[in-house]
Amino acid sequence: MNTTELVPLAPLVQTLVYTAIGIVIFSLAFWAIVKIAPFSIRKEIEDDQNMALALIVGAVIIGLAIIIGAVISS
């Protein structure tokens, strides 16, 4: 018995492709947030401990995750 009979490759390849696409979209979104902001996001969150900014960045990331998940599942 071949291992290809046990594990269908199409769903595995699709999962890997969608994962790569999701990571690229997340990276582009975070890059856009950093470029649009008139201040250093890293400095504001880490050094100044700006919790409001951290919540906004987190909300954007969660929103993108929901959108990407909905697109992939449809």
| Mean pLDDT per 10-residue segment, the chain (74 residues) | 66 83 86 88 89 90 84 74
Provide the pLDDT for residue 11: 78
Distance CA 67, CA 35 (A): 22
How many domains would you assign to the chain? 1
- Domain that residue 57 falls in: 3-73
pTM equals 0.64
pLDDT, position 4? 56
Lookup: tokens for 44: 């504001």
CB distance 34 to 45 below 8 Å? no
Terminal Cα distance for the chain, rounded: 34
Question: What share of the chain has pLDDT > 90, as a percent?
Answer: 12
